[in-house]
Structure 1
Amino acid sequence: MAERLVTDRLILRSWEMEDVPAAFEVFGHADVARWLSPIMDRVPDVAAMQVLLRQWIVEDLRAEPPTGRWCVQRREDAAVIGGGTLLPLPPGGDDLEMGWQLHPNAWRQGYASEATYAMAQWAFSHDADELYAVVRPENARAVSTIRRNGMEWVGETGKYFGQPMQLYRLRPADLDQARPGALPPGFEPE
Structure 2
Amino acid sequence: MILRTWHIDDAEAALGVYGNAEVTRWLSPIMEQVPDLPAMRLLLRQWISEDARAVPPVGRWCIQRREDNSVIGGATLLRLPPGNQDLEVGWHLHPDLWEHGYASETMFALAGWAFRHEVDELFAVVQPDNVQAAETVRENGMEWAGETDKYFGQRVELYRLRPADLDRSARRADLPPGFGAQ
Same fold at TM > 0.5: yes
C-alpha deviation, 1:148, in angstroms: 1.9
Show the 5 A alignment for 1:1-190: 10-176=1-167, 179-180=170-171
C-alpha deviation, 1:49, in angstroms: 0.6
Listed one character per residue, the Cα deviations across residues 72-114 of structure 1 (whole Å, up to 9, x for unaligned) are: 0000000100000000000110000000000011111011000
Contact 1:15 1:53 in 2 (8 A): yes
Counterparts of 2:78 and 2:21, CA distance in 1: 23
C-alpha deviation, 1:177, in angstroms: 5.3
Counterparts of 1:113 and 1:107, CA distance in 2: 10
Counterparts of 2:51 and 2:168, CA distance in 1: 30
Q: Aligned pair in 2 of structure 1 residues 129, 178: CA closer, same or farther (>3 Å)?
A: farther
Contact 1:149 1:178 in 2 (8 A): no
- Give the % identical residues: 63
C-alpha deviation, 1:176, in angstroms: 3.8
Gap regions ≥5 residues in structure 1: 1-9, 182-190
Contact 2:13 2:72 in 1 (8 A): yes
SS of the residue aligned with 2:42? helix
Contact 2:140 2:167 in 1 (8 A): no
SS of the residue aligned with 1:69? strand
AA aligned to 1:69 is R
TM-score by length of 1: 0.88
AA aligned to 2:91 is W
TM-score by length of 2: 0.92
Q: Between Structure 1 and Structure 2, how many residues are aligned?
A: 172
Higher normalized contact order (CA 8 Å, seq sep 6+, divided by chain length): 2
Q: CA RMSD in A?
A: 1.2
Gap regions ≥5 residues in structure 2: 173-182
C-alpha deviation, 1:165, in angstroms: 0.2
